Structure 1
Amino acid sequence: MAASVGGLLAWRRCHPRSFWLLVGFPLTAIRVRATWRKVALGCGLTKKRHRWWFTLVPNAVASSGLIRVRRRFQRVAVDTKPFIGLPRPTRYGWRVNVHLLEGQIPADYAEVAERLAHSWGVYAVRVSSDRPGRVTLAATLRDPLVRLDQVPAATELLKVTVGRLETGGPWVIDFRTVPHWMNAGATQSGKSNLANALIVGLAPQPVALVGFDLKGGVEFTPYAPRLSALATTRSESLELLNDLVALMVDRMGLCRTAGARDIWRLPAALRPVPVVALIDELAELYLMADKSEKEEIAKISTALLRVAQLGRAFGIYLFCSGQRIGSDLGPGVTALRAQCSGRICHRVNDPETATMALGDLDPAALVSARAIPAETPGVAVVAAQDGQWYRARSFLVTEEITERTARTYADRAPSWAEITAHARSSGVPEIELNDTVKL
């Protein structure tokens, strides 16, 4: 007996995947099915229904002392549980489909997800719905974000796997699907590490990287060999933003002449190089020490919003990071937020930043973001491409790795002078914006 138990433990330790599929999951599936009625009742997922039951009622006959049995229909209230399908194994747990009862919606299950996790003894339960009348419960046995030892990988142009989602799936940032991103996080929360992961993943690709480092250049200067342009002050940032606007307008003319709606419909020989702008410390672009800076900040805000509104079709993408991103910085930040459909929120020091990043998503996303502990750098709440939000963690990418990658692929950094040469010579016409930035 002891030898058998020892063999099972050794199997589980040496080959956890096969042990889970052949031993752990079948036992778990039986337990989930067997306990579903009690779990659904305890979590308030059952409904009272009245049914007519055929019952036998004894009736004594006084004259003879005999007992006769007569039949009667009786209306009885019973608890009806939702129908649950067969669990299916996943890499970090299992998933099962549940058919909703009348009047139920997926939010009813999302509200009791934590209760379901405790009832089944798992780390977490996520609720999703792929069609009306059915929800999918995805259970994870352990936290897949505890340790990540991989490196960012790029499989397609402008698409980088930067980490892992809490479901065990890859955390992918795809600029062609979600063109502009807002990344919020306090110091030592993993915000800069995520930017490093992006640089490492984009460096081998035929992409122009431009940096806005409002810390005086201490963040992005070591990566300058792979950057086509770098701005380290507010004045330089305005000049670089003007270049991006001029480049965008020039590409508008190119697409108009060719009859294309965006640069990706142009012939490969005519297609210009895509540009990814990495902005660090976004708030520094909007902070105003005195009224003399008002005009410069207004120009920066307008140019940045212009790129965010129109840049996607012309291959210009934004990744904006900051420790504090609040509405108190002015309407320019709020307008920019509306254009950044990609949202990432690491651990933050103030609720206003979390609200700015995730406020228009599920309120549960805000709760999850504010609960990120300080000892788990790199963990964030991210709005994924499927329209849902997930906890995620980026791969650890040190400054040394990023510097080495930048030097390795320095020859793939397009010259900024060559990229903008035609745009500068043709000038920048005025473009009407949907949003007017006023300070």
Structure 2
Amino acid sequence: MGRNSQSRSWDDILGLLFAGVGLLLLISLWSYHPSDPSLNSFGSDIKPLNLCGYWGAIFSDLLFQGFGGGSWVLVFVLFFQSYIFFTRQNEGLDRQLWLFGALGTLLFSCLFALHLGDKTFHQGHTQAGGFLGNMIVAFLLPVFNRVGLAIVLWLCAVAFLSLFSSHRMIEVLSYAGDWAKYMGAGFKESISKSVSFFRERLPRLPEFATEPKIFRRPKEVKEPGPRFFSLSSSEKEEEDFLEDEEESYDDSYDEDEIEEEDEEPTSKLNLSGYLTKKKKETSRRRLRPQMPRKVENWELPKISLLNDPPQGRTRLDEKELKLKSKLLVEKLAQFSVKGEVTGIKPGPAVTMFEFKPNADVKISKITDLADDLSLALSSESVRIVAPIPGRDVVGIETSNSQRETVFLKSIIQDDYFWDEEVKLPITLGRKADGEPRIVDLRKMPHLMVAGSTGSGKSVFVVSLITGLLLRHSPKTLRLVLVDPKQVDLAAFNDIPHLVMPPIIDSKKAVGALRWGIREMEKRYRSMSKFGARGLEAFNDIVSELSKEQIDEHAAFHTELEGPYHPKSYYYEPLPYIVIVVEEFGDLMAVDKVNVEQAVVRLAQMARACGIHLVLAMQSPRKDVVTGLIKTNIPGRASFKVASKMDSRIILDESGAERLLARGDMLFLAPGVSKPERHHGPYLPEEEIQAVVEKWKEQGEPVYDQAAMKAVEGGGTTAPGEPSFDQDDEIKDDRYDEILEYVATQKEVSASLIQRRFRLGYPRAARMIELFESEGVVGPANGSKPRQVLIRELPR
């Protein structure tokens, strides 16, 4: 009796043990994250995201890497073994159960590998069938081929379930058929109920629910990001305005580009607020979007195009780190700086020692000892962060004896890169503690990058563009590339995202910037017309417009001129535009005044309409990074520069001159007082070509003819675009009135004209630009009003 009671107690304990292990394994697999530390990757001081901690991260990584989706069979086996102990159906471990479990794990790994072999999970980190499943399938495929191997594996699966459940095979198939019929009937019933529900309620919708949304102001909600827009089949049939493939698109209105139709618009759109005279019978005009020819959905490049980074990370010797820590404290003590090292954070290229000085030590004494510490620690470079923001310690960064290369794929596998809220992700690399660092260009909203030759600046710019190409199609992102050296950005020639061919002549680059200003103004006119406060809200509104609404609105405004002409509005969803300028210093040397004015205006106003700047330069001199440019571009990154002065110009403090080469960088985020240290990602040439070729296979670029004419003309307005130049026929109807007023003033600004004549700001700003080109007012002087240069009206 005593033995039986003791045996039952042990069965209960073992049942609880296996249930607990099964639960831990279930949670570990469910909360698996590819950035967690594992046996084949080392993360120094990285807190695992796995809910079961470090060991959960290791075991889940081993199972997913080895068996893929078949790993979940082991969870079932553990719970079933626990059930056997609780019900006392067997004494000890059920060997047959564990044999079936091992075979089932391999079997389902092979099934996953066969049917989902090209699929990856966890941001491309794990394969569907794991290493063993893929290896077995690769061995058997030449023997059975895909169809034969599928039949063999599924027969084995049915046999496995039959043996495991102690039922005949015909019973297993019968159960499966009954389950499928039950699920199908339930699905059909739920669909029919949903259809009946909406049929009963749709006719009873109130009138305001069907009111046209063109003039409705959007609700104050968080703006969603751009979507991948595609045409439905009915809409595709109506897109007869597309020309042959040999023609390129143009925004200009010629007679050949207008379709005449006898019928009048039938939409009930209320346009009375825009009309000043009786409606005339007009032809229906269809606007032609400046988009690449391919109008269906684009396929984004897969992350598998990038090579997997080498397995394992460089492990730093713990004894070496402790020795450096001891030498650091001793060397500081020699200069009467006493304290202790409270933390060590190894990173890819540098290690940060957190030093807590005594209360009587001045911070300035520590910052002057960088060169002495570099000598004592035999370090290539030492940088001191005094103090670390929000901490009571000083950060002393020393270079590692063995540097780790940070590959782009290891950064974009982070979930934040694929977050829907992050519209334009920029991969900065890894922080000093090894954590990946990704920022959203849309929120910055512009970036300035500096770095001398060999510092890694050009590699960073290329990886930035490649990361955007992995996230966006030409429907949601367009690029303008300025590359005077004709080398750094040459890999991106002829991709369908380009607005115009890459600009290699610095003299023509100002034309691209001025085109960006006109594009910005046109977008703001369109957003204001539809009551949208941002690009995302505008895209949501216009995506709901019907073709009849667009045609009718255009027909009503063909008689109007100036900024109210229909050519001055957009009626289709707009993509983000990123203007990337390499060798910005060369542009400033060629035409400093015009380049600075264009950059400042874009930096000040272009954020809300989805236009962003990335300016890269070798030497951030004062005549390149002027005060106005620096003020309006708060996001700055610096690789190794030549001097302290260059570092202070780009980052407002020294330190960039002490950086290591090949990707070591400091990043100053908007609103942050101290720059952060990162190690930028490396992207091999073959990976760039793989991503670029994927896009080239899907379509050719269709360049914006107006933009190309603007570049060729050095920024003058292209035909077909609204213009306010002196020799253009289109003039503002209040030009003379405003000119008379300006002649009576000593100083004038766009805001003054806006208030005085009750105009919109874009219109007032254009008048100021026109007056400057005519010599009426002087050039811009920061935020101060412009000086009026005339005292009487010209005759």
The answer to whether TM tops 0.5 is: yes
Taking only the aligned residue pairs, the percentage that are identical comes to: 18
Tell whether the 8 Å contact from 1:368 to 1:381 is kept in structure 2 after alignment. Answer: no
User: Which residue matches 2:782?
Assistant: 435
Q: Which residue of 2 aligns with 1:392?
A: 678
Q: Which residue of 1 aligns with 2:665?
A: 380
Q: Is 2:704 aligned against 1:417?
A: yes
Query: What are the equivalent positions in structure 2 for 1:341-360 lying under 5 Å apart?
Result: 341-349=634-642, 353-358=646-651, 360=652
Q: Could you tell me the TM-score, scaled by structure 1's length?
A: 0.64
For residue 238 of structure 1, what is the amino acid of its counterpart?
V
State whether structure 2 residue 492 is matched by structure 1 residue 223.
yes
Which position in structure 2 is the counterpart of 1:189? 455
Residue 359 of structure 2 corresponds to which residue in structure 1?
Answer: 101
Which protein is richer in helix relative to its size? Answer: 2
Indicate the SS of the match to 1:409.
helix
1:277 corresponds in structure 2 to 579
Secondary structure of the 1:395 match is: coil
CA contact (8 A) 2:342 2:355 kept: yes
Assess, with a 3 A threshold, how the Cα gap between structure 1 residues 412 and 98 changes in structure 2: closer, same or farther.
farther
Q: Please, which of 209, 214, 219 is the counterpart of residue 484 of structure 2?
A: 214
**Bigger Cα displacement from structure 2, 348-357 vs 428-437:** 428-437
Cα separation, 2, equivalents of 1:345 and 1:37:
30
Q: Which residue identity lines up with residue 345 of structure 1 in the other structure?
A: S
Shift of 1:393: 3.1
Amino acid at match of 1:321: A
TM superposition shift of 1:276: 1.1
Instruction: Count the aligned residue pairs.
Output: 368
Q: How far apart, CA to CA, are the structure 2 residues paired with 1:394 and 1:144?
A: 16
Equivalent residue for 1:306?
Answer: 601
Higher RCO by CA contacts (8 Å cutoff, separation 6 or greater): 1
Tell me which moved more, 193-202 or 222-231: 222-231
- What is the alpha-carbon distance in structure 1 between the residues aligned to residue 44 and residue 457 of structure 2? 37
User: What is the SS of the residue equivalent to 1:254?
Assistant: helix
CA distance in 1, matches of 2:44, 2:444: 39
- CA gap of 1:327–1:412, structure 2 versus 1, over 3 A, is farther
Query: How far apart in 2 are the matches of 1:395 and 1:350?
Result: 24
State the shift of 1:237 in Å: 1.7
Alignment CA distance shift 1:26-1:191 (3 Å): closer
Aligned-partner Cα distance in 2 for 1:345–1:321: 10
Unaligned runs of 5+ in 2: 1-38, 47-53, 55-315, 543-572, 709-717, 724-761, 769-779, 787-795
* One-letter amino acid of the structure 2 residue matched with residue 336 of structure 1: I
Counterpart position of 2:234: none
CA RMSD of aligned residues (A): 4.8
User: Whole-Å Cα distance in 1 between the matches of residues 686 and 453 of structure 2?
Assistant: 19
Could you tell me which amino acid in structure 2 is paired with residue 197 of structure 1? S
Code of the aligned partner of 1:301: E
Look up the SS of the partner of 2:442 in the other structure: coil
CA contact (8 A) 1:378 1:395 kept: yes
- After superposition, the C-alpha distances for 1:59-110 in whole angstroms (9 at most, x for unaligned) are xxxxxxxxxxxxxxxxxxxxxxx7x7975877777876859737x6766655
Q: Is the 8 A contact 1:86 1:97 kept in 2?
A: yes
Deviations 1:147-178, CA, capped at 9 Å, x for gaps: 33443624332112242233323343431232
1:25–1:397 distance in 2 versus 1, CA, 3 Å: closer
Aligned to 2:434: 168
SS in 1 for 2:608: helix
Deviates more, 1:92-101 or 1:304-313: 92-101
Matches within 5 A, 1:245-260: 245-260=517-532
Residue type at the aligned position of 2:447: W
Query: What are the superposed Cα offsets for residues 208-240 of structure 1, whole Å, 9 maximum, x if unpaired?
Result: 22101223x443343121433232223432322
Structure 1 partner of 2:300:
none
Q: 1:314 aligns to what SS in structure 2?
A: coil
**How far did 1:274 drift?**
1.4
User: Deviations along 1:389-410, whole A, 9 cap, x unmatched?
Assistant: 2443322224443233223134
Letter in 2 for 1:242: R
The answer to whether structure 1 residue 315 and structure 2 residue 600 are counterparts is no
- Whether the 8 Å contact between 1:204 and 1:412 is mirrored in structure 2 is no
2 CA distance for matches of 1:366 and 1:139?
13
What's 2:509 paired with?
Answer: 237
Structure 1 distance, partners of 2:471, 2:682, is 21
Return closer, same or farther for 1:408/1:35 CA change in 2, 3 Å cut-off: closer
**CA 1:113–1:283 in 2, change beyond 3 Å: closer, same or farther?**
closer
Cα distance in 1, alignment partners of residues 397 and 464 from structure 2: 30
Q: How many angstroms does 1:277 deviate by?
A: 0.9
Report the secondary structure of 1:167's partner residue: coil
Cross-structure match for 1:71: none
Structure-2 change in CA distance of 1:379 and 1:89 (3 Å): closer
> How many angstroms does 1:204 deviate by?
2.3
Aligned to 1:203: 469
Higher Rg of the two aligned structures: 2
Provide the residue aligned with 2:208 in structure 1: none
Greater share of strand residues, 1 or 2? 1
Spell out the pairing of 1:324-343 with structure 2 (5 A cutoff): 324-328=619-623, 333-343=626-636
* Structure 2 Cα separation of the partners of residues 254 and 281 of structure 1: 33
Quick check: 1:117–1:139 contact (8 Å CA) kept in 2?
Answer: no
In 1, Cα distance between equivalents of 2:41 and 2:470? 35
C-alpha distance after superposition, 1:264-322 (max 9, x if no partner): 5546355632111110111221224xxxxx6xx53333212211222223221111112
Mean Cα deviation higher: 234-243 or 188-197: 234-243
1:56 maps to: none
2:688 is matched with which residue? 402
CA deviations on 1:306-359 (whole Å, 9 max, x unpaired) are 112222232211111122342345xx744323322222333445665444323x
Distance in 2, matches of 1:90 and 1:350, equals 27
The normalised TM-score by structure 2 is 0.38
